[in-house]
Amino acid sequence: MFNGEGKVMGLAPYGEDNPEIEGVLRGLIDTGADYDVTELTKRWGTGHGIETLEDAFGRPRNETPGEFDQWEKDLAYTAQNLLEETVVDIAETAVDQLGTANVALAGGVALNCKLNKRVRESPYVDDVFVQPVANDAGLALGAGWTGQPPSAVDRQTDVYLGPQYETEEIRSTLKTNKLSTGNRTTSSGTSPNGLPTATSLAGSKAGWRWGRGHSVPGASSPIRAPPSPVIE
């Protein structure tokens, strides 16, 4: 429904304290463990929230690509700080209520690495685990664990929980779809770890797959050989 969260996190370090921006945002939302952002999200989609922010700040959205101005950087900085303030308070409140200093985080918000650092640095928190499957696939993990005692749940050491395909299965699928295939890698076109190099793939469509699949957003690693077209 919303987008741009990663951009806000990335832009935030370039901003500075801006009391005017902070005051406007605090007038629209409540932070902390009992946070309330209904004023911005009470209607489906982003339209209502954006219009509310435009009215509150007295400036229109910028839909033209280009350099960010200092005000926009300060807005990202402030939004990141308020997010950290809220989630840290939620974590510390849970620690107090549950009597454990081990905190587990999940969901898209928990992909904010700066936020996770703040939670980890809390004097009330001993350890943090971030469940990395921050999309609908994570619901399947939760459903499988629901109702089980912690001792019955295997420790999650990686996120390679998806299917695995043998080479011949992949070749058969490519052949069925009339896609040519073959080993285009030679000894001179192989990196020290055995993976094809960009030189060996120049002008080719290439994909590289090994092991089981995963469901971590943004963690795909297709081989890239610019300016060749590359598929994963």
Residues 16 and 119 reside in one and the same domain: yes
Assess if residue 136 is contained within a domain.
no
Whole-number Å distance between alpha carbons of 30 and 43: 18
CATH classification of the domain holding 44: 3.30.420.40
Task: State the burial class of residue 210 (Cβ atoms within 10 Å of its Cβ: 0-12, 13-18, 19+).
Answer: exposed
Assess if residue 184 is contained within a domain.
yes
Residues 21 and 109 reside in one and the same domain: yes
Residues 171 and 120 reside in one and the same domain: no
How many C-beta neighbours within 10 Å does residue 111 have?
20
Assess if residue 9 is contained within a domain.
yes
> Residue 168's domain spans which residues?
158-232
How many C-beta neighbours within 10 Å does residue 171 have?
13
Radius of gyration of the chain, Cα coordinates, nearest whole angstrom: 23
Residues 22 and 118 reside in one and the same domain: yes
Assess if residue 81 is contained within a domain.
yes
Residues 72 and 19 reside in one and the same domain: yes
* DSSP helix/strand/coil, 206: coil
Boundary of a domain, candidates 96, 115, 131: 131
Assess if residue 108 is contained within a domain.
yes
Whole-number Å distance between alpha carbons of 60 and 53: 9
Assess if residue 119 is contained within a domain.
yes
Residues 73 and 125 reside in one and the same domain: yes
DSSP for 106-151 reads: ESGGGG-HHHHHHHHH-TT-SEEEEE---STHHHHHHHHHTT--GG
pLDDT in tens, the chain (232 residues): 456 667 888 999 999 999 999 999 999 999 999 999 999 988 887 889 999 999 999 999 888 888 999 999 999 999 999 999 999 999 999 999 999 999 999 888 888 999 999 999 999 999 999 888 877 778 888 888 888 887 888 887 877 877 888 888 888 888 888 877 655 444 444 444 454 444 444 555 666 666 787 776 655 444 444 444 444 4
When divided into structural domains, the chain yields a total of 2
Q: What is the pLDDT of residue 203?
A: 58
Assess if residue 137 is contained within a domain.
no
Boundary of a domain, candidates 114, 131, 148: 131
pLDDT in tens, 161-218: 778 888 888 888 888 888 776 554 444 444 444 544 444 445 556 666 667 877 766 5
Assess if residue 144 is contained within a domain.
no
Residues 33 and 121 reside in one and the same domain: yes
Predicted TM-score (pTM) of the model is 0.71
Residues 17 and 121 reside in one and the same domain: yes
pLDDT in tens, 195-208: 444 444 455 566 66
Residues 166 and 51 reside in one and the same domain: no
